[in-house]
Structure 1
Amino acid sequence: MTSTNCIFCMIVAGDIPAQKVLETENVIAFRDIAPKASVHVLVAPKVHVPNVAAAAREIPEILAEMATVAQQVADAECDGEFRWIFNTGPSAGQTVFHVHGHVMNGGSLGWDA
C-alpha cells in the first residue's frame, strides 16, 4: 500500500530522487536532505504506515528489518554506534507521515541520555 501524496512513497516508487544508502526488498535508507548531524540517514519501510506505533502493530517484521538496516548503515558509516530517532505526531516534529527512523551520529546531537 502506498499514498499518492506521500513524498517517501514517491521516493520508493522512484518518482523523486534520493541519495540511497541501502535498500532491501522491504526497506529503503537514504540521506536526509537537511541533516542535523554528520551522519543522518532515514530508514523507512517501502509500505506506507504513518508512524512507529502503527508499524509495531501492522508490520512488526518490517520494523525489525528496519532496525537491521539501521545497524548496517551505522556499521558502514559510524563504527556501528548511532542514535535511532522516531518522531510521532506534529508536536514531536514529524513532518512526513510515513514512518521513518533517523539514524544519526557525529558532532553534538543536542541531547545525551
Structure 2
Amino acid sequence: MTETTIFQKIINEEIPCDKLYEDEFCIAFNDIQAQAPVHFLVIPKKPIISLLECIEQDANLLGHLLFVGSKIAKSKNLTNWRTVINTGAESGQTVFHLHIHFLSGRKMNWPPG
C-alpha cells in the first residue's frame, strides 16, 4: 500500500492549507516553502504521481490545471510567472502527487537547474 501524500491529506482536509481555489477537479494553495515572493501550487484531486503516469484521458485535466493557475496569477495582477512541473526524484520532485508550481515576484534565472 502506498503512503498517503501531504497533498492527498490537503485534498482530504486532514491538514490545512492557504487555499486559493478549489473545484471538483483541483485545488490550489500557497506553497509553505515558497521559493519566490509569489509561489502557489495547483494539484489535481485525481491521485496522479507525476506526468510519467498520465494517460490520454488526463489531457483535459492537465489543461484545466494550467488554466486555473493562469486565472489565479491574473487575479494577483501578475504579468510574468514561471510554471514548473518536476517529474521524478532526480528532477526535484519531493511529493509524489502531480503538482504545478507557479512562481513570480522576482526575476527568474536561466537555466533553472
- Could you state the TM-score of these two structures normalised by the residue count of structure 1? 0.88
Paired-residue identity, %? 33
Whole-angstrom CA distance in 1 between matches of 2:78 and 2:111: 19
Structure 1 residue 79, shift from structure 2 partner: 2.5
Structure 1 residue 78, shift from structure 2 partner: 4.0
Structure 1 residue 5, shift from structure 2 partner: 1.4
Whole-angstrom CA distance in 2 between matches of 1:42 and 1:80: 17
Residues 78 and 105 in structure 1, CA contact (< 8 A), matched pair in contact too: no
One-letter code aligned to 2:23? T
Whole-angstrom CA distance in 2 between matches of 1:55 and 1:76: 29
SS at match of 2:54: helix
Whole-angstrom CA distance in 2 between matches of 1:30 and 1:52: 20
Aligned residues: 111
Deviates further, 77-86 or 46-55: 77-86
Whole-angstrom CA distance in 1 between matches of 2:14 and 2:38: 25
One-letter code aligned to 2:8? C
One-letter code aligned to 1:24? D
For structure 2, list consecutive stretches of 5 or more residues without a partner in the other structure. Answer: none
Aligned to 1:91: 90
For structure 1, list consecutive stretches of 5 or more residues without a partner in the other structure. Answer: none
SS at match of 1:59: helix
Residues 40 and 102 in structure 2, CA contact (< 8 A), matched pair in contact too: yes
Whole-angstrom CA distance in 2 between matches of 1:38 and 1:78: 14
Structure 1 residue 59, shift from structure 2 partner: 1.4
Q: Describe how 1:63-74 pairs up with structure 2 within 5 A.
A: 63-74=62-73
| Change in CA separation of 1:104 and 1:56 when aligned onto 2, cut-off 3 Å | farther
Structure 1 residue 52, shift from structure 2 partner: 2.1
Structure 1 runs, 4 residues or longer, greater than 6 Å off: none
Aligned to 1:104: 103
Residues 78 and 104 in structure 2, CA contact (< 8 A), matched pair in contact too: no
| Change in CA separation of 1:13 and 1:70 when aligned onto 2, cut-off 3 Å | same
- Could you state the TM-score of these two structures normalised by the residue count of structure 2? 0.88
